[in-house]
Each structure stands twice: as structure tokens, then as C-alpha cells.
Amino acid sequence: MSLAQLDMRVGEGADLVLRRATVLDPVAGIDARHDVVIRDGSIAELAAPGEALAEGIEEIDAGALHAFPAFFDPHVHLRTPGQEHKEDIETGSRSAAAGGYCGVLAMANTEPPVSTPADIEALRTSARAAASVRVGFLATVTSAMQGEELTEMASLREAGACGFSDDGLPIRSALVLRRALQYQRLCGGTIALHEEDPDLSGTGVMHEGPVSAVLGLDGIPSISESTMIARDAALAGYEGGRIHVQHLSAAESVEAVRAAKAGGVQISCEASPHHLCLTDEAVRSLDPHRFKMNPPLRTEADRQALIEGLRDGTIDCVATDHAPHAPEEKEVPFEAAAMGVTGLETAFASLYTELVIPGVLDLALLIERMAGGAEPFGIERPSLAPGSEANIALCDLGAEWTVGEDGYESRSSNSWCGGRKLTGRVLMTLAGGQVAYRLRSFSLGVAA
């Protein structure tokens, strides 16, 4: 499936030249300074620096900037239908564009959940009217996320569902997941899994360990996640199904996915910036705005295992699990607060600041994983190769900024990075061939 098959607002294709940009697309094998010529929304040419002709079109002095393939997030919550007080397609896709994303996949745990072909069609129509980036929609695996009856998966695929997920909830019954994997042979569509054993998680609100012991908060043990991954990997292997494990948080989970991959299971997985940057030590502040989410922040050993998984390819991609919530859902004690944090606008900058600058991760590897969220769903990844649709994140890797000081594009402000100083900023995003975002203070040097 091509990226262009995902929906977005129809508009004019961009015409511009990014003059002398440092162009890095590790998958396409591009790592050099170029004039990037964009005509009618496509990458027309990667010319030698300063050589491209730009008669009559906008020209940007990108001599101090990096051009990356725009990012793709396979896991965001756009909250529509039903929870538009948190986010909607317009604000969520604007938030994505501000983070350098050209495409996102929206989860189906809305109110009501996205369970019918009509739901998918209505969302796609809305996206064509309001989305600044390409948006694909997942449908639920089970009807109304009840975990019992399968949705009409084949019809949902025909209506354009990009895959299936009951995200927010695990599929408790192994038999139900087995039936879904059997049905997948008929209709395709990767099944994305929120892995958690509801009995082991119980009333937990944070990682189970010394910090939860001191705070007196109910713990969610790592094994709640890893045992379900092991179960579902075995099911997928047995049925020859294709699964994608969402938001890995624990070292045991990385190990479970690694073992499944080695055993030939068609499995991919993702990790979020907050799990790659934070640990449960942050929860000592009892600040639910920034540090309450599910799966929870875990230990330093877990964080290191996630980083190693990202490095060795066990973890295929970065996904934000962007989960907006209204202030009144977070301005309550930790145990009572809603789970989830926003992350689209800070994903690249946070990982660049916390992992690339200290030398933990290669910039090229991060770029590869940031755009790697499309492939697990059979969608081609954004590319800077000439002839591609223009999906470009233009970044200033030297820019320092404080998260939230100018507000957010998202309707919600529960950013796990709120108040942090980050280095590296997206100045401009091209998505689906259109200019999807420009930082307000970023003045463009237009050629005379």
C-alpha cells in the first residue's frame, strides 16, 4: 500500500527548493548536502549544493539544516469520534506535522470504538477535510472492544481500515485472538496488540518495584506484558499470522519479541519516546500529567533493554502512543488520573536530545526508526529518493527550546516533556507533497 493511499486534506502540491540542506535518508542511501528540489509535491531532484535552478519558486536557505524523510507514527489517539474535547483529526494531525510526521495511524478506542465499515468511511471523509498529514485508521479486532465477537474484518478492510487493534485493552481470550489471526488470512491487515494480562495488572497504576513499594501505589509487574507477548507470539506463529506489538516497556518483553523473531514469527514492535527516556523514578513526583501512562515507566534496566532493542532491530520503530487528555482528567491524584501522555510534537527532539547527543544512538538509526512505523502495516515508508512524494522533516539540530512555552498544536497539554529543554527542532514539515507545518518564527528566505 502506498503512503498516498492514506487520507489527508486535498491541497496544492508544494514547489520549493531546500538550498544546501544536509540530506539524510539511511534507507535510500542518501547522506550528503543537496539542493532538494520539490515540484508539484514531489521530490524532483537532489541537485548538487547551490546548483539547482529555482526560477520563480520559493527557496529556503537550508545550509544549517537537516532534511530527513518525514516520520511515521503507527500509534496515535486522535480521540474522534466522541472525545473531541481531548483532540480531533485537525488538532492531532497538526500536532503530528509540528513533530515532523507525514503520517499517523489512529487507534480505534474512541467513543464508540471504530468497529464498522461506516465508522471507517466517516473518519476517512473527515480526514480528507481536516488532516494536515496522512492519516490511516485502524478498526477494532473485537466488536466494541468487548473481547468477544470479531468485527467484520473483511468489510472493514474494504472500507479502508489499515489494520486492527483493540489498543487500550488487551485481547484477553487466546481463542478470540486465534480466530482473528485465522480470519486475517482472508482479509490481511496487521493486528496490533496492547499486551497486558488484566489479572496481573489488576488495579496497578505504575511499574511494580521499589518505587511503587515506597509510594504505596499498586504495581503493574513487567510480566503482565511479557507473558502476553509470549502467548500471542506463539498464537501468531501457529496460525502464520502477522502481529505488531505496541508500546514495549519491559526488558522481558524485548526478549520475548527477540525470541519470536528468531523463531520465524511474523512479529514487529514499537517503543515510545517516554519509555526510551524516562524511568519509574520520575513517578516519585506523583505528577500524573507527565508520568502516568499504560504501560508504565519502568526501571533503568528496562530502558536500557529498549534502547538495545531499538539498536539491534528487535524494535522496528518509534511510536508515540500520543494520548491527549483534558486538564480535569489529569488534575487529580495520581491513582485517579487518566492514563496517557502526548508525544507527537516532541518525539524527535526528545530522542535526539536524550539519546543521539550523548552518543547512545546514531542519528541515522533514529531517523530510520522514526520513519519505520509504516512498514509493519504494509505501508511503504517515506523516502527522499527522487520521484517520491515530498514527505520531509526539515530540522535545526542546534535549536534549543523549552517544551510548552509557546503552547501546543495538540488540543491537550499533557506532554511528558512539558517544561523540558530540548535540542533539535522541526522547522518545517512536508506531508503528502504539501507544506503541513512551519514553525511560526521560522522566516523563509525567499529567493529574489
Minimum gap (Å) between residue 323 Cβ and another protein:
21
Closer Cβ to another protein, 113 or 296, answer by number: 296
Closer Cβ to another protein, 18 or 250, answer by number: 250
Query: For the residues of 356-404, what is the DSSP string, one character each?
Result: ITTTSS-HHHHHHHHTTTSGGGT-PPP--STTSB--EEEEEEEEEEETT
For this structure, is 362 an active site residue? no
Closer Cβ to another protein, 286 or 339, answer by number: 286
Closer Cβ to another protein, 212 or 353, answer by number: 212
Say if residues 364 and 438 touch (Cβ distance below 8 Å). Answer: no
Minimum gap (Å) between residue 195 Cβ and another protein:
21
Minimum gap (Å) between residue 219 Cβ and another protein:
7
Cell of 351: 530522542
Cell of 56: 520563480
Minimum gap (Å) between residue 220 Cβ and another protein:
12
CA angle at 242 for the pair 6 and 390, rounded to the nearest 5°: 25
b/e sequence 45-84, b meaning 16+ C-beta within 10 Å: bbbebeebebeebbbbebeebbbbbbbbbbbbbbbbbebb
Question: Distance between CA 135 and CA 242 in Å, rounded?
Answer: 21
Question: Distance between CA 84 and CA 89 in Å, rounded?
Answer: 9
Closest CA to 426 of 403, 412, 415: 403
Residues in contact with another protein by CB under 8 A are: 208-219, 221, 286, 328, 331-336
Closest CA to 162 of 147, 140, 186: 140
Q: Which residue has the cell 502540491?
A: 13
Q: Which amino acid is at 100?
A: G
The residue annotated as part of the active site, out of 25, 167, 321, 396, is 321
b/e sequence 388-416, b meaning 16+ C-beta within 10 Å: bbbbbbbbbbebebebeeeebbbbbbbbb
Closer Cβ to another protein, 175 or 214, answer by number: 214
The distance in angstroms from the start CA to the end CA of the chain is 40
Minimum gap (Å) between residue 335 Cβ and another protein:
4
Closer Cβ to another protein, 152 or 218, answer by number: 218
Q: Are strands 58-61 and 16-25 parallel, antiparallel or unpaired?
A: parallel
Minimum gap (Å) between residue 288 Cβ and another protein:
8
CA angle at 193 for the pair 141 and 70, rounded to the nearest 5°: 105
Closer Cβ to another protein, 161 or 217, answer by number: 217
Minimum gap (Å) between residue 290 Cβ and another protein:
13
Active site residues: 321
